[in-house]
Amino acid sequence: MNMLTADDGETIHLRISGDGRPLVLLHGWTSSHRDWNPFIEPLAAHFRILRWDARGHGGHAPLTTTVPTVQRMAQDLHLLLTHHDLRDAVVVGHSMGALTLWQYVRDFGCERLGRAVILDQSPRLLTDDTWKLGVYGDFDAQRNEVFMAALREDFAEAVLRLVADGRNRAATQAYEANTEGIQAMRQRLRKLSPAPLIACWDSLTAADYRPVLAQMTIPTLLVYGGESNFYPAETARFVASHLPDARLRVYEGVDHAPHLWRRAAFIEDLLNFSGISAHA
């Protein structure tokens, strides 16, 4: 694994694979670079792939006291792009990764970006009387306070419930049945240090990237799950309608990780979107 030292002295853990146009893969909250493992072999022939463990993630002990906010992660992304002198990069952000990308655009613009891919995310997580396209459609500040308290009490179980209590019935049933997949996820989550991840969540829910959408002047591919745990179909349509150059794909019948459930379709869409023949 490659190491990148941030300007505050923190180590950013990074995997680099393949050769070609730069492709940066940004994972979701509580996840790691391993989420992208299924895509490396088919994409490495076309791209130079860079995938990190965002600070506070991946189970790495922190070297600094810097809080891993979304703003700080956007600075880390800027460091990554400049350190490797990446230009015309394709940046894919899933969930938290999409928020990191929007924060990056707010802070640094699109100069080094060629194309963007947003995977199943809302530009504003919390809902209120005027915004119903965030988490669940009814996850307001008060409900978030309850969730934050649950994270502090039992981090792993609270994260599992966040997924299970949403809009995807299959996820609810899997949690209720305590399937092997749920048990494995619980074990993985219990190995993580909760405090940095809770602070990260706090920054994610404080952010509002609706004004940033108009600044996304690069072509953007949107991929949403037709049965997302968190977002209704209207969320995808809102994002698409507020981007200057958007292409929307909805993978029916799958949840908040549409790229994982429809791997072949996503790889083909990504290659085509990047101007590469899927059969090259």
pLDDT per position as a tens digit, 84-138: 999 999 999 999 999 999 999 999 999 999 999 999 999 999 999 999 999 999 9
Name which of 114, 128, 106 is nearest 274 in CA terms.
Answer: 114
Ranges under pLDDT 50 in the chain: none
Indicate left, alpha or beta for 92 from its phi (over 0: left) and psi (-120 to 50: alpha).
beta
Cα angle 232-159-209, degrees, rounded to a multiple of 5: 50
Residue 108 backbone dihedrals phi, psi, to 5 degrees: -130, -5
Amino acid type, 147: F
**Inter-CA distances, 14 with 9, 31, 64, 75, 247, Å:** 15, 14, 18, 15, 29
- Alpha carbon distance 27, 36 (integer Å): 8
Angle CA 199–200–201, to nearest 5: 90
Q: Which residues contact 169 (CB under 8 A, 6 or more apart)?
A: 227
Predicted pLDDT of residue 126: 98
> How far is the C-alpha of 227 from the C-alpha of 206, rounded, in Å?
25
Asked whether the beta carbons of 255 and 225 are under 8 A apart, the reply is: yes
Q: How far lies 191's CA from each of 57, 131, 236, in Å?
A: 11, 35, 33
What is the rounded distance in angstroms from the CA atom of residue 251 to the CA atom of residue 265?
9
Q: What is the CATH number of domain 2-125+208-273?
A: 3.40.50.1820
15 beta partners: 51
DSSP structure class, residue 60: P
On whether the CB atoms of residues 160 and 182 are closer than 8 A, the answer is yes
pLDDT the model gives residue 97: 98
**167-to-121, 141, 154, 210, 256 alpha-carbon distances in Å:** 14, 19, 22, 22, 10
Phi-psi region of 40 (alpha: psi -120 to 50; beta: other; left: phi over 0): alpha
What span, in angstroms and rounded, lies between the C-alpha atoms of 20 and 61? 32
Helix (H, G, I), strand (E, B) or coil at 117: strand
Query: What is residue 278's predicted lDDT score, i.e. its pLDDT?
Result: 60
Joined together, the tokens standing for residue 202 give 């706090």
Question: pTM of this prediction?
Answer: 0.97
What would the pLDDT profile of 166-189 be if each residue is shown by its tens digit? Answer: 999 999 999 999 999 999 999 999
Instruction: Note the pLDDT of residue 279.
Output: 55
